[in-house]
């Protein structure tokens, strides 16, 4: 069994229930991130674009803490609570990866862990 190594970016709001990222073998698995800042405050209440930007910033922090770059991300999965939010999320995704974007899935869900969250994204990053 490969060794597991948690990735916790400096200054990230602690969450005893999960690791922001987990390195297993040559892969980084980034937990689903929502629009909270390093103090744990919700960013962009009611604004899917602002929330998407915060989500990508949070993912970037985990990816960077693991020694990788956003360009290394191979796969993302997005969960949104309303299909009407897709254009805002898609805009931010395109800005985050302007060329050679990762494989991507988007799923519309009934809700996320808190009702103020509109977007959640997880990622897989090869490290070798």
For 45-89, the three-class secondary structure string (H helix, E strand, C coil) is: CCCHHHHHHHHHHHHHHHHHHCCCCHHHCCEEEEEECCHHHHHHH
Q: Please indicate, yes or no, whether the overall pTM of this predicted structure exceeds 0.75.
A: yes
Question: Residue 43 contacts by C-beta under 8 Å, 6 or more apart in sequence?
Answer: 35, 36, 37, 50, 51, 54
Look up tokens 């990222």; give the residue: 21
Q: Does domain 4-126 have CATH number 3.30.1280.10?
A: no
Going from N- to C-terminal start, the domains of the chain cover 4-126
- Per-residue model confidence as pLDDT tens digits over 64-122: 999 999 999 999 999 999 999 999 999 999 999 999 999 999 999 999 999 999 999 99
């Amino acid at each position: 069994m490969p060794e597991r190594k948690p990735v916790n970016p400096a200054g990230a709001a602690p969450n005893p229930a999960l690791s922001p990222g987990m390195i297993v073998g040559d892969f980084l698995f980034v937990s689903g991130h929502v629009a909270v800042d390093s103090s744990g405050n919700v960013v962009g209440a009611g604004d899917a674009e602002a929330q998407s930007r915060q989500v990508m910033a949070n993912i970037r922090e985990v990816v960077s803490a693991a020694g990788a770059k956003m360009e290394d991300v191979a796969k993302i999965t997005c969960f949104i609570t309303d299909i009407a939010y897709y254009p805002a999320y898609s805009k931010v995704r395109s800005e985050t990866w302007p060329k050679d974007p990762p494989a991507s899935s988007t799923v519309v869900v009934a809700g996320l862990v808190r009702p103020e969250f509109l977007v959640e994204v997880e990622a897989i990053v090869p490290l070798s």
